[in-house]
Amino acid sequence: VLMLYLIIFGLIVLVMSLVIPSITEDLAQLNSALPTIVDRLSSSLENVQKGSPQYLDFISEIQNLLEGFSAYLQQSSQSVIGLIINIFGGLMSFVAIVVVSFYLAVMKKGIEGLIESIVPSEHEAYVSDLWKRSEAKVGKWLQGQLLLALVVGLMVYIGLSLMGIKFALILGILAMALEVVPMAGPVLAAIPAVFLAFLQDPAIGFWVIIFYVAVQQFENHVLVPIVLGKTVGLNPIVVIMALLIGGNLAGISGMIISVPVATVIVEILDDMAKHKEIKKTTTIA
């Protein structure tokens, strides 16, 4: 176990050392290019406005938003640094969780020792069994989600790079990060890619739309059955609610622990329902 954690930690450090400089450079270029991109989009909206006066009010509102956004970018010289801090602040929170998990894994009895020390002896067996079931379910779900995110992120990065789309690395990482957001994640990841592609070349923009649709179809019909076919899935609604509540209560750290906590609660509710059903059957008999 110790060797496995050391290998994983070493790989994480190696990947971060290789990727972070490229991400920083791309973010700096994107930060410099965004005001120009916003100005180009605003000019395009002006042309549409002249040809379609019925949309005058709506287009004017969009232009006002774009102008305000552009002014903010020009005034905020620390925007790239702030974005990097936010991204890797979440990563550091994840690393902290991994460190705690590592400690519990290598210490004598791990989490079972903690359960023995705080749970009354008459409930110890049940709580220990509850933890093992929850841990197995969350572990399988998390492994599947991370593998899907990694594969989709690599597909997006390679595909956009082959099409010559700028900031392909950032867009690939964005696709990987948003992959864990149920249902809406892939759509949210596609929006900035399509937007940048259309500004680069409208013809390429249409190909990017087709590419993202193809990736989504490949994921749904090939990757998901293979990767998640043998795992114990969690209800998407439970995941969404857990992430929302955890994020509101404790930010990124709350989102990280929200799914395990929700899984434990669901397991307890299932146990209560089973116990009630058994009691009802016994009473009838």
- Closest by CA position to 236, among listed 254, 223, 224: 224
- Position 6 scores a pLDDT of 60
Please determine, for residue 87, whether its predicted confidence score (pLDDT) is greater than 90: no
Task: Answer whether 275's CB lies under 8 Å from 134's CB.
Answer: no
Please determine, for residue 59, whether its predicted confidence score (pLDDT) is greater than 90: no
Task: Answer whether 28's CB lies under 8 Å from 80's CB.
Answer: yes
Nearby residues of 163 by Cβ (< 8 Å), 6 or more positions away = 197, 204, 207, 208, 211
Q: Lowest-confidence range among 76-90, 183-197, 268-282?
A: 76-90
Q: Lowest-confidence range among 24-38, 165-179, 270-284?
A: 24-38
**Average pLDDT in the 21-36 region?**
66
pTM greater than 0.85 (yes/no): no
- Position 77 scores a pLDDT of 43
Q: Which of 100-137 are b and which e, b meaning 16 or more Cβ less than 10 Å from the residue's Cβ?
A: eebeeeeeeeeeeeebeeeeeeeeeeebeebbebbeeb
Q: Which residue has the higher pLDDT, 141 or 107?
A: 141
- Position 41 scores a pLDDT of 62
SS3 annotation, the chain: CHHHHHHHHHHHHHHHHHHHHHHHHHHHHHHHHHHHHHHHHHHHHHHHHHHCHHHHHHHHHHHHHHHHHHHHHHHCCCHHHHHHHHHHHHHHHHHHHHHHHHHHHHCCCCHHHHHHHHCCHHHHHHHHHHHHHHHHHHHHHHHHHHHHHHHHHHHHHHHHHHCCCCCHHHHHHHHHHHCCCCCCHHHHHHHHHHHHHHHHCHHHHHHHHHHHHHHHHHHHHHHHHHHHCCCCCCCHHHHHHHHHHHHHHHHHHHHHHHHHHHHHHHHHHHHHHHHHHHHHHHHHC
Please report, as a single letter, which amino acid is at residue 130: L
Q: Which of 32-59 are b and which e, b meaning 16 or more Cβ less than 10 Å from the residue's Cβ?
A: eebbebbeebbeebeeebeeeeeeeeeb
Per mean pLDDT, which of 59-63, 75-79, 151-155 is the most reliable? 151-155
Nearby residues of 111 by Cβ (< 8 Å), 6 or more positions away = 104, 131, 135
Average pLDDT over the chain, rounded to an integer: 70
- Residues above pLDDT 90, as percent of the chain: 6
Domain ranges, ordered by start, for the chain: 1-107
Q: Which residue has the higher pLDDT, 3 or 78?
A: 3
